[in-house]
Chain A
């Protein structure tokens, strides 16, 4: 359409900042997730969505109204939502007789669906049901995946990548060690995936590293994998491609040897050794008698050249 082709020139600074936040960048923003309810979402699925929203705040958007779409058949409405709210992860919940308590978890690349995996919720224990103290909102969770299925099976590999992407949170350069409070543990056994969330208590142990005690906290889900819609290999490769500017710059002229010594190289210009400034040793200074003798010897040369 003509309107979509045109360059939208922002009229205010605020609009300009808004557009700049959404355009492709070298270092990207943290991925936002949108949580959508399907046409016939039941209580369980709604509770799941609400709990995941609580975990993922503030990088999540919860859609309050029911949206009657089928992601596996038609992806245009999902892509439209993603474009509107600038979210690249989504979680769609629905329920029908054939697929009870259905959750579709997926991600986008360039506002088009990349991967989608349909999971069925078999058992769900909500945040409200477990009466413990919870950790503060926005804590970066530790993620642990147990089970060899996550490496052997291709679909499970994609699911692992999706779950990491979903729950990762912002990328930070440093972290407060006492603030490691939340851990999400995924176990793949027997065709089922058990997701458990625990609150971490750091107890005193004899040495520097504390002993860990876990307390069951947040949502716990028993999931079973149903349908999948995975991206083709070349699209995957395209999305994984990192721009060249992100590679860390090599520090030149610094080298390390095996023993841990750091060597540096300095490049000097050619020095005139006759004009070098050395330490003045008083004892080695020329006495006046020697100096006159040298002068006497030197002057004949000068007269010859002149």
Chain B
């Protein structure tokens, strides 16, 4: 029996000899890129001499390396594509060799003005049903669009005159005009949001550039401030425009970098120092309840948002960003309206 096994092994080895290649160091393979890296130093002396001998050596080296790479590729899980008679197709793994990208990865678009406001106020998106019950037609109709629930608004035959309106005015014309204005305003806002996102993405420098027209509000404000400060007395004696703010916003920030004059209000200074001593000396730490509660709520909201984002990130583009969050409005508004109720809890937590 052993003799038979040995003979079988011999045969196997004989068969494999045609495809085995001996190498000092193993090659590194990246099959996703069909790549093989050979670390063995090639025979430099032999390759120095020019002519066909060099070509032969290079070809032999290439043959060996290719044989090894192809052996690796043939080891991959393969299947017959397109039924039994189709070509043999191997599943390639992901490429491992790190190559630089062509362009930087896409940045998520910045939130629109409404999205910022909604986040600030804690307004969440109410999920609406797509069909509404139409009492008139006694069936389920769409909320908007073709054959909507309230009937076609362009064929409305009745337009009530509102209380304070001019009786001679054409109500239908007014409705049509208002719709046109609404559409135009929405389109303008949409384009502004797009421009803002585009600007945020490309990081255009904030220096005032545009000569005339097409300047937005922030830029005009900036330009006006720069113009005011470019006088000899740095804008201290410039008259102000009717709607401009009385005190200029300090360039180096708001509240934190404001310094009081040195020899000013003695009483204020005294009271401030005494207050400081009292806060430092007192046993109980001073806690601003509203601030603490709001901060906590913000944090919780941020955590919930992060968790939700991780769970349900859809690629639906702009619409997909508005996610449904678990209802928390009761707790938050409750806290804002009644900070006193939380005092016990706050005091307990602080003390």
Contact = CB atoms under 8 A, between A and B. Distances in A.
A196 B66 CA distance: 12
A168 interface: yes
A37 to B, nearest CB: 24
A24 interface: yes
B90 A175 contact: yes
Contacts of A301: none
Interface residues on A, range: 35 or more
Interface stretch (A52-60, A94-102, A136-144, A279-287): A136-144
A197 to B, nearest CB: 9
A153 B66 CA distance: 24
Chain A interface, DSSP helix/strand/loop, else mixed: mixed
B102 A147 contact: no
Given A173-B91, A189-B44, A194-B58, A7 B194 contact: yes
Contact of A236 (B18, B95, B100, B105): B100
Contact of B58 (A109, A114, A187, A200): A187
Given A142-B66, A147-B41, A206 B15 contact: yes
Interface string A137-165: 00011111111101100000000010011
Contacts of A175: 34, 73, 89-90, 92
Contact of B92 (A26, A111, A174, A240): A174
B100 A148 contact: no
B40 A7 contact: no
Contacts of B32: 171
B198 interface: yes
Interface string B192-207: 0011001100101000
A108 to B, nearest CB: 8
A29 B103 CA distance: 10
A243 B88 CA distance: 34
A220 B206 CA distance: 52
Interface in A164-217: 164-165, 168, 171-180, 183, 185, 187, 189-190, 194, 196, 198, 200, 202, 205-214, 216
Given A164-B99, A187-B42, A205-B18, 8 more contacts: A5-B202, A7-B195, A146-B65, A161-B97, A171-B95, A177-B87, A209-B71, A238-B104
Interface of B: 14-16, 18-19, 32-42, 44, 47-48, 55, 58-59, 61-63, 65-67, 69-71, 73-74, 78, 81, 87-92, 94-95, 97-106, 191, 194-195, 198-199, 202, 204, 209-210, 214
Interface of A: 2, 5-7, 9, 23-26, 28-29, 31, 88, 107-111, 114, 140-148, 150-151, 161, 164-165, 168, 171-180, 183, 185, 187, 189-190, 194, 196, 198, 200, 202, 205-214, 216, 236, 238-243, 248
